[in-house]
């Protein structure tokens, strides 16, 4: 058997390997940090967009119910409140489509569905309110009130779900 001489490791080669490994680690840490920041920004952007929709929805709803109250007091004629109701329903359907443009992070999907369901239920309630205005049938108004209560409950569940997702996401 022939003995082969073992050469001592080349210090320049070791240094290059160490530098390459160091660069890979630094790039990995930067990439991981960047992804976390992007996830936070995505969550923040989603929260801001959802908040804007909810604010618009709240303003639209309160303005509409103020007009309905004026109608009930005899301050607005039926044909005018029916026109206002048609405009309100169109605005509500427009707000409903805004939910579809949101891109929620995974933990917020359930809350988004509940917010959307709340708005859909409110639209159904407002359609029945319009029918009550047209017919004067108090049972239709009672159904509208019941759906409005369901809409409110969906919204409360959505807020609870959103806050839970936000709390678990920030850990």
Using CA of residue 42, residue 48, residue 51, residue 57, what is the dihedral sign? negative
pLDDT digits (tens, 9 = 90+) for 54-95: 999 999 999 999 999 999 999 999 999 999 999 999 999 999
Q: What was the pLDDT predicted at 33?
A: 62
Q: Classify burial at 98, counting beta carbons within 10 Å of its beta carbon; exposed 0-12, middle 13-18, buried 19 or more.
A: middle
Q: Which fold has domain 45-169?
A: 1.20.120
User: Where are the domains positioned within the chain?
Assistant: 45-169
Residues near 154 by beta carbon (within 8 Å), at least 6 away in sequence: 114, 115, 117, 118, 121
Written as six digits, the tokens of 76 are: 């607005």
In this structure, the number of other CB atoms found within 10 A of the CB of residue 153 comes to: 13
Does pLDDT of 4 surpass 80? no
């Amino acid at each position: 058997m022939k003995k082969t001489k073992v050469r001592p490791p080349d210090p320049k080669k070791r240094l290059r390997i160490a530098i390459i490994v160091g660069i890979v680690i630094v790039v990995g840490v930067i990439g991981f940090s960047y992804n976390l920041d992007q996830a936070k920004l995505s969550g923040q952007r989603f929260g801001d967009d959802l908040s804007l929709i909810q604010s618009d929805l709240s303003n639209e709803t309160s303005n509409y119910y103020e007009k309905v109250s004026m109608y009930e007091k005899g301050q607005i004629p039926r044909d005018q409140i029916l026109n206002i109701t048609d405009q309100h329903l169109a605005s509500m359907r427009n707000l409903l489509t805004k939910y579809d443009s949101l891109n929620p992070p995974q933990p917020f999907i359930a809350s988004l569905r509940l917010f959307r369901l709340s708005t859909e239920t409110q639209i159904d309630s407002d359609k029945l309110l319009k029918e009550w205005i047209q017919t004067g049938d108090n049972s239709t108004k009672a159904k509208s009130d019941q759906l409005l209560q369901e809409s409110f409950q969906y919204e409360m569940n959505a807020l609870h779900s959103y806050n839970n997702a936000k709390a678990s996401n920030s850990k």
